[in-house]
Amino acid sequence: MKIIRAEHLGMCFGVRDAIALALDAVQHEPLTVLGDLVHNETVLADLRARGIRLAQQPAGVGTRTVMVTAHGASERAMSETRGRGLNVLEATCPLVHAAHRAVARLVREGFHPVIIGKRDHVEVRGLTGDFDEFDVVLDEEDVAKLCERPRFGVVSQTTQPIDRVRQLVRLIRERFPRSEVCFIDTVCQPTKQRQNAAVELAQKCDVVIVIGGAHSNNTHELVKTCSRFCARVHYVQTADDLQADWFASEQTVGITAGTSTPDALIGEVESWLRARKATVSSTAMEKANPILTPGAASIPC
């Protein structure tokens, strides 16, 4: 069994910085994070253990300071939170900020905003929350439901696969040939790197393991991408989810992970696989050379 990691995998700088900011802030005063700081249960449990409180709504915040996650929030939502007398600490990733600036510029210039992404995702809620009129599209059916507008301004949730984004922009242009369609590419570089590395990995592996949180959009996108190039793709949240019968000897096993997956979880999966590799290698050796198996030497020839 050969084990290889994708060239780019795991936690991105935006999530690392947000976690570092939260851990620093809680040293000075009680802190509540609004929403999931990362879409990874293991990391969230660790943050709770370090005294950081988590709330899904401003009404549930029991501290004076509240943190907006790397996914960002609309200006409207942040003003409402400040209006409750709370201090807002922003951990919004600079690349999410760039997406906010892009859509605001398009709206200022008279384009109807269209966000390519998941309607209920926290980042998309933040990108659309300051506008009364907007559309969110994720597939061909959503594009078919769009009403004609003279000018469409299209940006994307930062963690969407760029291939899908470009395809949907093409579809919008085909459907509305008389409209002006302005697209600003806001897919972040870490997502592009992990997607490209996942394609390369899946092409040379017999089995691919994708590690990430159950609510991590980019992890599920990695699963879909790998599945296009490899028939045996398994999604796990931790090493405890791995199953021995997924693996055999003489296989190449690839590992990739979403942008909220900590290094420790990737390390645990790799260690599990290396232990498994040792087991399957010795089993294979025993089958090939029964005389070498422990105890076999005592069997009379």
Exactly one of 41, 90, 123, 141 is catalytic; which is it? 123
Kindly state the smallest distance separating residue 158's Cβ from ligand SF4, in Å.
4
One of 43, 181, 188, 236 touching ligand SF4 (CB under 6 A): 188
Kindly state the smallest distance separating residue 260's Cβ from ligand SF4, in Å.
8
Kindly state the smallest distance separating residue 161's Cβ from ligand SF4, in Å.
12
Helix (H), strand (E), coil (C) string for the chain = CEEEECCCCCCCHHHHHHHHHHHHHHHHCCEEEECCCCCCHHHHHHHHHCCCEEECCHHHCCCCEEEECCCCCCHHHHHHHHHCCCEEEECCCHHHHHHHHHHHHHHHCCCEEEEECCCCCHHHHHHHCCCCCCEEECCHHHHHCCCCCCEEEEEECCCCCHHHHHHHHHHHHHHCCCCEEEECCCCCHHHHHHHHHHHHHHHCCCEEEEECCCCCHHHHHHHHHHHHHCCCEEEECCHHHCCHHHCCCCCEEEEEECCCCCHHHHHHHHHHHHHHHHHHHHHHHHHHCHHHCCCHHHCCC
Residues 242-301, interacting with ligand SF4 (CB under 6 A): 259
* Nearer of residues 97 and 204 to ligand SF4, judged by Cβ: 97
96 binds ligand SF4, rule: CB under 6 A = yes
32 binds ligand SF4, rule: CB under 6 A = no
Q: Which of 248, 237, 187 is nearest to 212 (CA)?
A: 237
One of 40, 158, 195, 217 touching ligand SF4 (CB under 6 A): 158
* Nearer of residues 46 and 206 to ligand SF4, judged by Cβ: 46
Kindly state the smallest distance separating residue 12's Cβ from ligand SF4, in Å.
3
133 catalytic residue (yes or no): no
One of 128, 159, 160, 225 touching ligand SF4 (CB under 6 A): 159
One of 86, 93, 210, 239 touching ligand SF4 (CB under 6 A): 93
Select the span of 9-17, 59-67, 106-114, 148-156 touching ligand SF4 (CB under 6 A). Answer: 9-17
Select the span of 10-18, 131-139, 242-250, 289-297 touching ligand SF4 (CB under 6 A). Answer: 10-18
Residues that bind ligand SF4 (CB under 6 A): 12-15, 70, 93, 95-96, 158-159, 188, 190-191, 259
Q: Which residues are identified as catalytic?
A: 123
